[in-house]
Amino acid sequence: MASGGIVGAVEDHWTVGRVAELAHVSVRTLHHYDEIGLVRPSGRTAAGYRAYSADDVERLREVLGYRRLGFGLREVAELVGDPSADAVAHLRRLRGLLLERRARTDAMVAAIDRELDVRAKGLKVTPEEQLEALGA
């Protein structure tokens, strides 16, 4: 189907409400993403409602992945707009970013555990040790 076409069968397309429900975002968020060109539905129903294809949902997944990692909308637009990156490249990039985040989180938990052990022994915690827990 050409981009922006009328969708007759709903089996291969999802309404904005269904996509919002599946993605755990508001319909307003999807409308905003459409308005700014970040995630545009491929078509419309005969009644004029947005209809999202599997490719549209894949792009939304990429957008939400980057957003949930803290990227701003402009940064996300650049990342998902990279013509050299396909879905696999985005998944690999997201995975790498998540692994980095997990490593930082694990290091913070370990530092907090060390501080808890020190405090449980009634010892003082140095300012350096306190800041280490924050990854500083």
Write out the DSSP string of 77-131. HHHHT-TT--HHHHHHHHHHHHHHHHHHHHHHHHHHHHHHHHHHTT----HHHHH
Composition of the chain by helix, strand, coil, percent to 5: 60, 10, 35
Distance of CA 108 to the CA centre of its chain: 23
Domain boundaries of the chain, sorted by first residue: 1-57
Residue 53's φ and ψ, nearest 5 degrees, are -85, 175
> pLDDT value at position 23?
96
> pLDDT value at position 4?
54
pLDDT averages per 10-residue partition of the chain, 136 residues: 48 89 97 97 90 95 95 94 89 94 91 90 87 72
Contact 63, 33 (CB under 8 A): yes
Topology adopted by domain 1-57: Multidrug-efflux Transporter Regulator; Chain: A; Domain 2 (1.10.1660)
> pLDDT value at position 6?
47
Q: Is the pTM of this model over 0.75?
A: no
C-beta neighbour count of 45 within 10 angstroms = 16
